[in-house]
Structure 1
Amino acid sequence: MTSSSRQHDGTPMDTLISMCDLVTPMALRVAATLRLTDHMLSGATDAPALATVTDTDPGALHRLIRHLAAVGVYRESAPGRFEPTEVGLLLADDHPVRQRHWLSLDQPVGRADLAFTRLLDAVGTGLPTYEALYGRPFWEDLSADPALGEAFDRLMATEEEAVHAVPIAAYDWSGVRHVFDVGGAPGGFLQSVARAAPQVRGTVLDLPGPARRTRERIAAAGLADRIDVLAGDFFDELPVRADLVLLSMILLNWQDDEAARILKRCRDALEPGGRILLRERAEPAQGPDVSTSDRYFSVLDLRMLVFLGGRVRTTQEWYALAESAGLTVTSVISPLSSPVVPFDFCLIEMSPA
């Protein structure tokens, strides 16, 4: 494979080889799971020392690290000794972007990524493959397994104040009294809203496991007097009415029929004159960076298919979904860029038709 790559360097063949390589993505996930970057930074810089602290085979581990050095994650600082590059440093456990936690095979997303081995099944059926691999749908799995659920909450809280600041600043909260955050665990977005708009009180609804963790988190933040947390299922009749129902990165988890059912439940929970506000991934931008934005959009879209059976929607698709739920799109604020993530969000406001 290496000689073929060299023969076709810079050609379509080179591009195809880089695209079909499953070795590097899996090698990165193994490095993240074994915490190789942290061990290197702690002084274990050769394969025997790294194998000792990771309980792995020295020869096999050396071959893994040698490949990751070839692709620029690590570099050989002296014969047989390795250190992380700037790319490799992103895999440090305490790095603020938490890439190790996204990739590690014992963490929720890295674990779920293994469902891509059944992508052909997902494409053939339009159904997620996560349950076939782990025995339960994704959200049920996270709700039933406290360790997985807590790890997912921590991942979703990565740089959350900076991520939330832009969409919160872009929306007019001045007339909002009660925000009902449906599926809102671990509660970070509603906490940010409450801090930005002191007149707002809030309610979070989620499955029992996430609801319990969210209640504890909100109490620790000193906001329990302003934010209630309820355990429930958003496919059932919602127990609270509010003048603003918030769905933050929720509907991308579901296919259109299920997403429309959720929207109808939210519509029925509105006070007269109320609105539904979605925070979702923005559709790819047009212009010179279209390939980059297309890639982030499509990666998440395929993850939603394989993990959950959901989809990431374009603005036109949001209009169609709103109409199917008896709603009208009243505003779209897009794109909303954040300095800490490489993709854009959007805010979509809907009202009863």
Structure 2
Amino acid sequence: MSSADPIVDHGTAAHPPSSRGTASSNGNAVGSHYDRLPAPSALDLGREALPAPPPAFVVKAVLGLRRAMQRLTDALCPADLAMFDTLTGVGKTALLGAVARYRIPDLLEAGPLSAEEIAERAKLDADAVHRALRALAPLGIFRLRSDGKFENTRLSKTLGGGRFARMREFAIHYASGSHMAAWGDFAKTLATGRAAFDRVHGMTVWDWFEKHPDEREMFAHVMMGLTLQDAPVIATVYPWREVKKVCDVGGGRGSLLSELLVRHRHLWGVLCDAKGVLSSAEPVLSARGVRDRVDLVPGNFFEEVPEGADAYVLKNILHDWDDASCRTILHAVRAACYEGARLVVSESIVERNSKHLMGTVADLHMMTICSNGRERGVAEIRSLMEETGFRMGRVFEYPTMSVLEGIAV
């Protein structure tokens, strides 16, 4: 996917701060970026389901093996060298963001190029390009050939465009000056527990996006990519055959809802978000062939959501907010539920003593960037449910995220 072809949707999860819940009390600040983005019809995902996710045991085994091999290599080399490699991570982040921004992987799609050829086409400095890509080659990101030319690798291609590309926008977003400045002030967050982004920039990340439309649009692309990554998992692990009508609360342009309806033909959908967001959802739903099975209902998840659905989906919404705000959201959803209706919460589960690398790093990101945000454990989400009129039901775990069920009582 390139930034010229966005279907923007929120969701993630376990990763950068999500504004998926644009139907909120600060909906204008969080959701209005949708209205300024290019038309989503530029990227036609088609009417077929997205690629199915690998079995959970395979993902868990591969991630576990990768971490074990990293620990093994660190154990075999001098400790100072292993720590040095870790400490240079900020430089690698900045470098990958720049490579993605200038679309260098896309330039290499037609074949190997020298740094001079890349620099000429991208209007860059040839010496700087060679030194940058040379530094990435030992990491498996680009290959430096014996003739001095560079070519793509499996990893570098993730920073390019393409229908199912996910990392280009993420790299640019994560390496942005506003984010890097916040991380640079993390020591004060460790001392105070307060978000560095608010302190460094004098405003929340949502207000920052409102004042910086380029970053707002890039963030929207990131959320679309993460939603498309998670949607097949959510559509697969939960038994959707048990319900008929699904309401995606704060569901953006409908990337998740459309995937549910493509995979489960018996479902009827309700997409609830800010009015401006819903108008831009029409092309997405039509492109996926499900527009005739979706009701578009403007809403504010702090106040009121549509009644009558069998299941209400909250994907990567609760992790944006403190407990009091989460209770307000859940109370609004419960008011719309009939007794026995389902609440389907999709979040990255991080227990207090979790050793899950992606989840714990995502939680730090929420603490640093998103005011009052945090990833929670199962017991914490159960407590929020029980305090707002839900009984926790089944928990469906996947290595990258989980789906937690609540039953309205």
TM-score (norm 2): 0.69
The correspondence of residues 1-353 of structure 1 with structure 2, limited to 5 A, is 10-21=77-88, 22-42=90-110, 45-94=113-162, 96-104=164-172, 108-111=173-176, 113-114=179-180, 115-130=182-197, 137-139=204-206, 152=219, 154-158=221-225, 163-283=230-350, 294-309=356-371, 310-333=373-396, 335-336=397-398, 343-353=399-409
More strand by share: 1
Q: CA deviation at 1:234?
A: 1.2
State the superposition RMSD in angstroms: 3.2
Q: CA deviation at 1:202?
A: 1.9
Q: Distance in 1 between matches of 2:110 and 2:264?
A: 44
**Higher relative contact order, chain-length normalized (CA < 8 Å, sep 6+):** 2
Amino acid at match of 1:273: G
Among all aligned residue pairs of Structure 1 and Structure 2, give the percentage whose two residues are the same amino acid: 25
Amino acid at match of 1:320: S
Structure 2 CA distance for partners of 1:148 and 1:215, relative to 1, 3 Å: farther
Structure 2 CA distance for partners of 1:54 and 1:120, relative to 1, 3 Å: farther
Partners of 2:93 and 2:174 within 8 A in 1: no
Deviating more after overlay: 195-204 vs 121-130: 121-130
Q: Distance in 2 between matches of 1:126 and 1:278?
A: 26
Q: CA deviation at 1:83?
A: 2.2
Amino acid at match of 1:349: E
Which structure 1 segments of 5+ residues have no match? 1-7, 337-342
TM-score (norm 1): 0.79
Amino acid at match of 2:364: L
Partners of 1:118 and 1:129 within 8 A in 2: yes
How many residues end up aligned between the 2 structures?
330
Q: CA deviation at 1:135?
A: 7.2
Partners of 2:272 and 2:306 within 8 A in 1: no
Partners of 2:311 and 2:344 within 8 A in 1: yes
Which structure 2 segments of 5+ residues have no match? 1-74
Q: CA deviation at 1:182?
A: 0.7
Q: Distance in 2 between matches of 1:169 and 1:9?
A: 40
Q: CA deviation at 1:228?
A: 1.8
